[in-house]
Structure 1
Amino acid sequence: METTSAPRGRNRRGQGARLKEDIVAATLRLLDELGDDQALSLRAVARELGIAATSVYIHFADRDALVLATLERAHHDLTRSVNEAEEAQADPVGKLRARVLLLGRWVQDHPGLYKVMHESTLNQRESMAFKQELADRATAAVQRCMDAGLAPRDDASAVSLDLRTAVHGAISMRVNQPDYPWLPFEAQVDRFLTKLVGVTLP
């Protein structure tokens, strides 16, 4: 990818952390555009920032290390956004629904990052334990619905897994078959919540 980025000046003392953040931010943009971590090179990241490739290696040993750090940042940002969407709702069902819908909107905006995070060969080579936080919070959201009497009593972990499997399947199909005449994601989510969690929606 050719860019017209102006070369960066040398970082002043103590600014190495800023360069590391800039490298991660540039990698986020490139991964979202490419949708494939194998197509990413550290030289491309360096060109994006107008720095020498050796400057990237100072902070990240190899491509996998950089991609993992970048995906962890993306996942952290996504988790924060999902939590904010949940907190804006008053009742447990609304909170659970808001979590799922925000995830769908995020993937719509960042299909490339989603593909790398969930469908890349990196998943087979490296642990992405940071993804567990979203799963745990989804289970807690399902449990709150059950505790409030808004969903049938059941194993919240199993129900949450069913829901997440359905949602990620729907999201993945939309990412990989964008031209299919999909029904609105919100309607599909509502069916999942009704059939898999057992809640009643207004």
Structure 2
Amino acid sequence: MNATRGRNRRGEGERLREDILAAAIRLLDELGDDQALSLRAVARDIGIAATSVYIHFGDRDELVLAAMERCHDDLLSAVERAEEVSDDPVAKLRARTLLLGRWAYEHPGLYKVMHESLLNRSGTAPFREELGERTAAAIQRCMDAGLAADGDAATASLDLRAAVHGAVSMRLNRPDRPWQPLEEQVERFLVKLVGIPD
């Protein structure tokens, strides 16, 4: 953006916080590295003084964590909308898994920050567990309906997420390979890792 921003009127501080957060998310998606983000760059992007960022975020890590949490919340909302396509538990699980895989293609930089960044590895983002727990619950619903092999839903969730993350990471890092459609690979994961009938 780089345009000088006008001053917020009294009571509009929350709008500035949202603008800072949106700029950080945009820049993180471009950079793909939480360590490369600077508060000065965020301030410059929205045309404010760097000191204005500190009013809302104490340091870069606090801002990156807030950006990750916002992306996480947006992903959860998108997953919920994707699951509305059907009442069938398997269709819901398939829709959620594909959405999470496709999101990485649309936001490769954010995907790296959310899954491969130093801050992510520090374990200071408790909200990260919710996606895994919801995937486990979706698998459990398939098991309860007799549409997947009985087993430990939490373990199946971890296996499925690891497989999808691996598939997405390989595609992002080796775009030159003749990859099969992600939908086909996800279907094999559901059959082999979750026990959905082929």
Q: Per-residue CA shift, 1:9-55, capped at 9, x if unaligned?
A: 11111100110000000011000011011111111100100000000
Map 1:43-58 → 2, pairs under 5 A: 43-58=40-55
Quote the Cα distance in structure 2 between the aligned partners of 1:110 and 1:91.
29
Map 1:96-111 → 2, pairs under 5 A: 96-111=93-108
User: 2:90 aligns to what?
Assistant: 93
User: 2:141 aligns to what?
Assistant: 144
Structure 1 alignment gaps of length 5 or more: none
Quote the Cα distance in structure 2 between the aligned partners of 1:84 and 1:188.
22
Structure 1 range deviating more: 152-161 or 169-178: 169-178
Map 1:117-128 → 2, pairs under 5 A: 117-128=114-125
Q: Per-residue CA shift, 1:87-118, capped at 9, x if unaligned?
A: 22220100000000001111110000000111
Structure 2 alignment gaps of length 5 or more: none
Tell whether the 8 Å contact from 2:90 to 2:147 is kept in structure 1 after alignment.
yes
Q: Per-residue CA shift, 1:99-142, capped at 9, x if unaligned?
A: 00001111110000000111011123341111111111100100
User: 2:36 aligns to what?
Assistant: 39
Quote the Cα distance in structure 2 between the aligned partners of 1:126 and 1:162.
20
Map 1:108-187 → 2, pairs under 5 A: 108-187=105-184
User: 2:197 aligns to what?
Assistant: 200
Q: Which amino acid letter does the alignment assign opposite residue 167 of structure 2?
A: A
User: 2:60 aligns to what?
Assistant: 63
Between the two proteins, the alignment pairs up a number of residues equal to 198
Corresponding residue SS for 1:200: coil
Quote the Cα distance in structure 2 between the aligned partners of 1:126 and 1:15.
33
Corresponding residue SS for 1:151: coil
TM-score by length of structure 2 reads 0.96
Q: Which amino acid letter does the alignment assign opposite residue 133 of structure 2?
A: D
Quote the Cα distance in structure 2 between the aligned partners of 1:180 and 1:61.
43
Identity across aligned pairs (percent)? Answer: 68
Structure 1 range deviating more: 163-172 or 95-104: 163-172
Quote the Cα distance in structure 2 between the aligned partners of 1:125 and 1:194.
33
Tell whether the 8 Å contact from 1:89 to 1:98 is kept in structure 2 after alignment.
no
Tell whether the 8 Å contact from 2:3 to 2:45 is kept in structure 1 after alignment.
no
Over the aligned positions, Cα root-mean-square deviation in angstroms equals: 1.1
Q: Which amino acid letter does the alignment assign opposite residue 192 of structure 1?
A: F
Alpha-carbon distance, 1:179 to partner: 2.2
TM-score by length of structure 1 reads 0.95
1:22 equivalent to 2:19? Answer yes
